[in-house]
Every structure is written in structure tokens, then in C-alpha cells.
Amino acid sequence: MLALIPLLPFAGFVVNAFVGRRLPKSVSGLVACGVMVAAFGISLTSAWSVISHHAPIDQTVFTWFTSGDLNVPLALRLDNLSSLMILVITGIGSLIHIYSTAYMHEESDSEYARYFSYLNLFAAFMLVLVLGASFPVMFVGWEGVGLCSYLLIGFWFRKKSAADAGKKAFIVNRIGDFGFILGMLLVFVTLGTLNFQEVAAAVSSYGPETGMGVLTIATLLLFLGATGKSAQIPLYVWLPDAMEGPTPVSALIHAATMVTAGVYMIGRNAELFSHAPITLAVVAAIGTATALMAGTIGLVQNDIKRVLAYSTVSQLGYMFLAMGVGAYAAGIFHLYTHAFFKALLFLGSGAVIHALAGEQDLRNMGGLKKHLPITYWTFLIGAIAIAGVPPLAGFFSKDEILWKTYSAHWPTYHFLLYVVGLLTALLTATYMFRLVFMAFHGERRHDAPPEHPEEQEPVAGDATPSQVGTLHANTSHAAHGTSHLHDAPPAMAFALIVLALGSIGAGWVGWPHALFGGNNHIEKFLHESFLPPGGSHEPGAPAEGAPAPAAAEGQAAGEAVHEADTSTELMLMGISTGLAAAGIGIAWYFWRRNRNAADDMASRFSGLHRLLLNKYYVDEIYDAAIVQPIRILSTGALWKGIDAGGIDLAVNGVGLGVRGSSSLLRRLQTGSIRAYAASLFLGVVFILGYYLWR
């Protein structure tokens, strides 16, 4: 039964990949959506049986390979953590499939089928990733979703920027995957098993490592894999470029599901990571730094999807912050709520782009509120949810993370992390509402040429060549009148509305105890998955006196902390809610009430503004520090030196030697029979002479 969940989308992939081009759009769309909805149904029943029986489901499909001590069955495991994940993947995945049937409707039949085959294949691999009971099975899904990500980013591969973005995503991920493989091997060498349950059981007898031990190195390598897949510093650069793909793909892969794989992987190995406090400190620091950096970049970008992409990077940073302070449940909780509102925001931006026939530049939008009411209201709900205004979903998960960070005992600089987290919350509210105000409020600036500096355009003069390149659609659509704007068609509106409801209500399962005595079901629910099998102790708190990264985590200890600090927690909630409101206020002041103020700020801090607009020049730094040296080394040394100068020279030298020696030896072929006879005769005489006189 469990194997059916990934197999159904895989069957959809097979149908659409092999016969899809001969099917009309309605059939291939129906197949793709049908298998996803069916998988969602099975996921619901499976998850329900896990919850009602309080017992995980294990299924061994077959023995994959055996080699010496290494025995890897293709085993699937559905516990509380993976039930939540499969519900998110199949549930939100179904909505995005339905949305895509309308969004991709202008493609030809074969392209349409190709799109849905990739999307189904992605869902199948993602489900393998979360259902896998061991590292190798997870790795199959891990690589598979990377492949599908590449295929879908480069879906419009005739456009060079899309093909390049796909390659960039694939190559950057490869660096992370290399770390993942090494980490996996190190775990096997150290603990002798690759099964998550057995790893957790084996590691639970260890004390936490205080120095740079083997567990720390293994978890750091695994975390490198997570930074690649989940777009964290230093490997986040591919995600903003990945926005070249179709918008529903950005919603499904690059916001809701695939990029959370790294967070999920840490949650799956909570026990392992808990025993490596140094790794946890690194995870928390990287997550926080990424959250802040991406948030500041998101503040000035002008492409609607890029703002959302940086927002995703920033929110993923939050999740890693939670993982790093040992609040695994809070991190997964944020993953779950983020899936709703970020998918909603991406699909909303897709509806805007769809209505404007390909326009993505915020400076050419404005005043869309009255033309796209469904899109506007659902987008607004998403923006409020991500900004962290109670009682929408984002508030609960983000506040849980901030609270857990504040009350953590490890890492020692957790208070700094908390402050940066708060700052990022402010930034989040600001850039999201900047988006809302620029796109939906004010006057239409749809026809404004982006090259000309205008008072309505805060950053027009600073448009970089790459940004100008994204505006190519502008001229061809300038003739479109307001009357051509159409709101989301039914399939898209359906997905938007369902996700908007989710963005409102999804957080209520994690209602904190401090606020009107909620009981945070999600934390208790997820907590079981982070414990080693049969163990009842707190993860990460096995020994006295050692750093206890997860001391605030869990029921017994957690209850006590909550009782004591309810007032503190309420106060922190007040602060973060106030900051969210302040962020919205700032956005309202700069981009709604007084547009010139934004220009003034941009020109007053022009250096900073340019730094942010150019994304801290990270792409340029990577290009200069890594890409160009490799290129120079490859061209100068490996190509011109070793290949052309060494290998080619040897091969050509053999040819030249043969040719030169034969040009001498051919002179023996004189054509005179007498000469041949004489040489034969002399040869015989010499040989006979040798034998007779020796």
C-alpha cells in the first residue's frame, strides 16, 4: 500500500512521457491530476492509520543490493514526520497540478504532456525521498528531484537563460550531493548501518561530541548536501535563477517541497544531529545568516518571482535556524505552514503573470487590485500569513521558532540568532507588502518603459543588464489595454482559494500553550519521530553537564519551561507581531503613501542599494573565485597543456614516426625483379653461411 503512493505519480509519468504527445491536453492533464489526487487519498488513509494506531508503517518492497556488511532493502517507512510530509507533497502537489492545467494551457499538446510527465516524476521522487527508510533510498529521491528540478527549470529550453539556470541548479546541487554521499559513507563506516532507525538507535548510546569528532564531520557533510538542496549559504545561488521555470514549478519544487528536503533530512536524523552540537551551531548560524541576507536582497528586487525566491531562501533559513537550536518540531512546523503560504504566493504571482501575458517586473504593474480580485485577496492572505500576523499560519510557526531560539541553551549565541530572526521577520513583512503595494495598489504602470527613469520608479536608473533582459516582453504587451486583463480561470482560482484557506488555518494545529492555553498538537505529534527507536529520553540531552541543544524541546521539559515563561513568551509574541505590523507600515509608507521617499532612500544610500540590487555580488564573486579559475585551468593547463600538448602530441607523434620511417623504407621497393632476387639470394647465402661457419 505504501509503495503505491510514489508509484501512482510514477505511472502518471509513464503515461504522459510515452503516449502523452498523442493525447489531447484534457486527457494528459486529467491523468496527471488524477494520479496526484489518488496519491493524496492513499496518503490520507495511510496517515490516518499511522495516527490512529500510534504505530509507524514499515514496508520492505524488495532487497535492493547486498554487499558484505551492507544490506540495503528498498524499504519505506511512514511515521508521524513522513505522514506530514506526504500530505503536504500530495495535497499541495495536487492543487498545483490542477492550477497548472490552466496555467500551461497555451503550450502545444506534446509540450503540455512533457510538462506534466516531469511534474508527476518529480512527485514520485519526492515521495520516495520522504518515505525512504534509509539513506540510500532517500538518496534516490534526493537525486531524482534534482533531476526533475533541472528538467523543469529548463522547461523552456529554447530560451538560453532558462537552459543556463537549469544547468546552474544542477551543478550547484551536485556540490551539495557530493557532501551528502560522503556524509552517508562516513555514517556507514562509523555506525555500520544506513537505516535511519538503526542509525538513531546506534548513536543514542553515544555522548554528544564536544570537539570535531566523526559525528560532527559526518553531519556537517550531510548539512552541505542540505545547503545545496535547500538553497542555503553558500549554495543558495541557484534558487533565484530557478525562477526561469514555469511559475507552478516554482511553487511546487522551489517553494513548497523539494527545497525543504534538507530540513526534512535533518529532522529525519534528529538524533544524529543532536549528538553533534558543533554542527547544530553551524546549522543555526548559516540558517540565520541566510535568512537575513536573502531578506535584505528581497527588499530591492524588481522581478516579482525573484522577490518570492529570496523570500523562500529566507524562510528556509528560518527552518534551519529551528533545526540548529534543536527545535526540530518547530522547523518542520514552519516547513508545513510555509508550504501553504509560499505556494499560494507563487501561484498568485503566476496568476498576475498570466493575466499580464508574461510581464514579471513589478515596476510595470500596479493597480491590479480591481482587475484581479480573487488573485488580490488570496495573495494578500498569503502575504499576511508570511508576515507573521496572528492568527494566520505563519505567525504560529515563525513565533514558535523565535521562541525556541530565545529559550534555547545551545548555541551560546542564541540570543544574537533571536535578534537577527526578529530583524528578518521585520524585513519579511516589509518586502512582502512592498510586493503587494507595487503590484496591486496605486496606478497602472504597465505601459511605463523601464529604461526611462521616472519618478514613479524607485530604482529604474539602476536596472542592471540582466534585469533589463527580463523586460523583453514589455514592448509586445504594451498595447494590451486594461480590458484584456482577466482574473484567474476556475482551475487556478480553485487552487488559490484552497491554499488561502490553508494559509489561514494551517497553523492552528500548533497553537501555543501560552496563548489562551492551546496545546500545540503538532509538536507532540512530531516529537515521537525525533526519538530513537524504543528510547524515551530527550533527543540531544543524554548526559548531564554536556551542551544540550534540545533541552527546551519535548513534552516534559517543554511543559515546565512553558509554565515558567508564559509571560515571556507572550511578550515575545507581542514583539514579533509588533514588528510584523511595523514592517507592513514601513512598506505602506514607502511604496503606497509616499513613493518619493523610497527614491530618496535609494539615492541616499545608493551604495547599499546597489549592493542589494546586485545581490551582494555573490554571483560575480563565485564567478571570479571559482568559475574563472576553473575555466583558466581547464583551458590553459588541461586543454592546451595536457590534452593538446601531451596526449595529442603522443598520438600524432606515433603517426608521424610511422610516416617518416616508411618514407625511407619504401625506397627498397625498386621495382626491379633482379634486385629482389639478389636480396633474396644474398639473404639465403648469409643465413646458410651463418649456420655453416658458426
Q: Which span sits near other proteins by CB under 8 A: 320-328, 348-356, 434-442, 674-682?
A: 674-682
Looking at the Cβ atoms of 650 and 668, the one nearer to other proteins is 668
- The C-alpha cell at 539 is 533527543
Q: Which span sits near other proteins by CB under 8 A: 361-369, 394-402, 420-428, 675-683?
A: 675-683
Q: Which span sits near other proteins by CB under 8 A: 210-218, 267-275, 440-448, 673-681?
A: 673-681
Q: What is the spatial distance between Cα 537 and Cα 557, in angstroms, rounded to a whole number?
A: 11
Least distance between other proteins and beta carbon 681 (Å): 7
401 three-class SS: helix
With CB under 8 A, what is the number of residues at the site for other proteins?
A: 12
Looking at the Cβ atoms of 67 and 669, the one nearer to other proteins is 669
CA trace torsion 654, 659, 661, 662 (10° rounding): 140
CB atoms closer than 10 angstroms to residue 568: 14
Pairing of strands 70-78, 57-67: antiparallel
Place of cell 513583512: 429
Q: Which span sits near other proteins by CB under 8 A: 70-78, 439-447, 449-457, 665-673?
A: 665-673
Looking at the Cβ atoms of 52 and 672, the one nearer to other proteins is 672
In this structure, are residues 239 and 317 in contact, taking their beta carbons and an 8 Å threshold? Answer: no
Nearest to 372 by CA among 458, 436, 456: 436
Nearest to 80 by CA among 106, 58, 53, 50: 50
Q: Which span sits near other proteins by CB under 8 A: 10-18, 199-207, 239-247, 664-672?
A: 664-672
Least distance between other proteins and beta carbon 672 (Å): 7
Which of 681, 686, 687, 689 is in the footprint of other proteins by CB under 8 A?
681
DSSP state of 661: H
- The C-alpha cell at 180 is 551528502
Least distance between other proteins and beta carbon 647 (Å): 33
Q: Which span sits near other proteins by CB under 8 A: 27-35, 309-317, 625-633, 666-674?
A: 666-674
Which of 67, 475, 567, 669 is in the footprint of other proteins by CB under 8 A?
669
Residues 11-30 that bind other proteins (CB under 8 A): none
Least distance between other proteins and beta carbon 653 (Å): 24
In this structure, are residues 246 and 354 in contact, taking their beta carbons and an 8 Å threshold? Answer: no
Does residue 543 bind other proteins (CB under 8 A)?
no
Q: What does each C-alpha distance from 546 to 101, 207, 405, 539, 677 come to in angstroms?
A: 54, 8, 19, 13, 98
Q: Which span sits near other proteins by CB under 8 A: 174-182, 202-210, 371-379, 667-675?
A: 667-675
In this structure, are residues 500 and 375 in contact, taking their beta carbons and an 8 Å threshold? Answer: no
Least distance between other proteins and beta carbon 645 (Å): 34
- The C-alpha cell at 43 is 496518503
Looking at the Cβ atoms of 626 and 678, the one nearer to other proteins is 678
CA trace torsion 26, 31, 34, 40 (10° rounding): -140
Looking at the Cβ atoms of 654 and 675, the one nearer to other proteins is 675
Looking at the Cβ atoms of 66 and 670, the one nearer to other proteins is 670
Q: What is the spatial distance between Cα 129 and Cα 261, in angstroms, rounded to a whole number?
A: 8
Nearest to 346 by CA among 254, 236, 431, 425: 254
CA trace torsion 118, 123, 124, 129 (10° rounding): 130
Which of 564, 571, 678, 687 is in the footprint of other proteins by CB under 8 A?
678
Does residue 692 bind other proteins (CB under 8 A)?
no
Which of 476, 603, 606, 670 is in the footprint of other proteins by CB under 8 A?
670
CB atoms closer than 10 angstroms to residue 106: 10
Which of 160, 452, 659, 674 is in the footprint of other proteins by CB under 8 A?
674
Least distance between other proteins and beta carbon 654 (Å): 22
Q: Which span sits near other proteins by CB under 8 A: 216-224, 457-465, 509-517, 660-668?
A: 660-668
CB atoms closer than 10 angstroms to residue 484: 12
In this structure, are residues 140 and 245 in contact, taking their beta carbons and an 8 Å threshold? Answer: no
Q: Residue 299 half-sphere exposure, CB side, CA atoms within 13 Å?
A: 29
Least distance between other proteins and beta carbon 685 (Å): 10
Least distance between other proteins and beta carbon 666 (Å): 4
In this structure, are residues 76 and 197 in contact, taking their beta carbons and an 8 Å threshold? Answer: no
Does residue 659 bind other proteins (CB under 8 A)?
no
Phi and psi (nearest 5°) for 346?
Answer: -65, -45
Least distance between other proteins and beta carbon 682 (Å): 11
Least distance between other proteins and beta carbon 664 (Å): 10
Does residue 672 bind other proteins (CB under 8 A)?
yes
Beta bridge partner(s), residue 132: 76
Does residue 673 bind other proteins (CB under 8 A)?
yes
Least distance between other proteins and beta carbon 631 (Å): 49
Contact track, other proteins, 616-655, x by CB under 8 A:
----------------------------------------
Least distance between other proteins and beta carbon 652 (Å): 24
Looking at the Cβ atoms of 650 and 673, the one nearer to other proteins is 673
Beta bridge partner(s), residue 303: 361
Looking at the Cβ atoms of 571 and 678, the one nearer to other proteins is 678
In this structure, are residues 349 and 247 in contact, taking their beta carbons and an 8 Å threshold? Answer: yes
Least distance between other proteins and beta carbon 668 (Å): 8
Q: What is the spatial distance between Cα 98 and Cα 33, in angstroms, rounded to a whole number?
A: 6
Least distance between other proteins and beta carbon 691 (Å): 17
- Rounded to a whole number of angstroms, the distance between the first and last alpha carbons of the chain is 90
Does residue 671 bind other proteins (CB under 8 A)?
yes
Q: What is the spatial distance between Cα 320 and Cα 226, in angstroms, rounded to a whole number?
A: 10
Which of 667, 690, 691, 694 is in the footprint of other proteins by CB under 8 A?
667
In this structure, are residues 29 and 101 in contact, taking their beta carbons and an 8 Å threshold? Answer: yes
Which of 158, 452, 666, 694 is in the footprint of other proteins by CB under 8 A?
666
In this structure, are residues 184 and 274 in contact, taking their beta carbons and an 8 Å threshold? Answer: no
Q: What does each C-alpha distance from 589 to 252, 495, 604, 684 come to in angstroms?
A: 33, 32, 17, 110
Least distance between other proteins and beta carbon 674 (Å): 6
Place of cell 516534559: 556
Looking at the Cβ atoms of 636 and 683, the one nearer to other proteins is 683
Looking at the Cβ atoms of 536 and 672, the one nearer to other proteins is 672
In this structure, are residues 283 and 319 in contact, taking their beta carbons and an 8 Å threshold? Answer: no
Does residue 686 bind other proteins (CB under 8 A)?
no
Q: Which span sits near other proteins by CB under 8 A: 68-76, 83-91, 410-418, 677-685?
A: 677-685
Binding site for other proteins (CB under 8 A): 666-674, 677-678, 681
